Amino acid sequence: MKVGVVGLGAMGAGIAQLCVEAGVDTIGREVSMELAESARDRIGHFLTRKVEKGQLEQAARDDAVGRLSLTTALADFADCDLVIEAIVEELAPKQQLFAELERICKRDAVLATNTSALSVTEIASATSSPERVVGMHFFNPAPLMPLVEIIRAELTSDDAFETAYAFGEKLGKHPIRCYDTPGFVVNRVLIPLLNDCIRVLDESRVTVEDLDAGMKHGAGWPMGPCELVDLVGIDVHVHASDALYEKTHEPRMAAPPRLVAMRNAGLLGRKSGRGFYTY
């Protein structure tokens, strides 16, 4: 089996790492070789850390890195059995990409999108073979998070759906089956819940630390809501909230003003060094 990954940012590189660790020949595409090589270096670094921790043999690490080839040309995906897209979270670029992939890839190749908030059906509508388009929503960081949502769009075939599900299992993940509804399963529950938590900050005049402690020690959460939003990225959370609100018009889906203000101020959480907490 040969897999292609389009986009080697944080998510794409994590997915590519999972593929090569599972023994799958993988081709990763970025807009420049410089970006592609930087992603391969990051993957190599993460695998080296696994060797240092005794979780991976050095030879297995070297074999895995050797299974990743890099390209800037989509044409190199012509012989892939499955292509996973992990580019910018915007509909138009994804639709344009899937239209190109359809022309390039062999007819029985499955085309998967890693979107977290967009409609898989709308992405598939840019192709004339929407039956082979499916959602494979990995969670960040992909190498560590066990879940992958396998999303059936309106016209997804059973074959494509089951191929994506089986591949999720092959990667050592826990796949779950769901339909193409706004937010799928986890984000449909989690985003309004996190938004509620942030609103409680202002309404009950609780501190960030006490809110996080409350949800950890009272509800059994492994990390508090403010810690979690900082980890995800406040800009990412607001973007996903906006997308869900646009689809559902449920008030709980809308990002709280406090989060929008933080995003506008560049307080994005861990990645910017400051969000609810300072890093």
First to last CA, the chain: 42
Active site residues: 116, 137, 149, 187
**Under a CB-based contact definition with an 8 Å cutoff, are residues 82 and 166 in contact?**
no
Q: From its phi and psi, is residue 79 left (phi > 0), alpha (psi between -120 and 50) or beta?
A: alpha
Token couple for 68: 């990743």
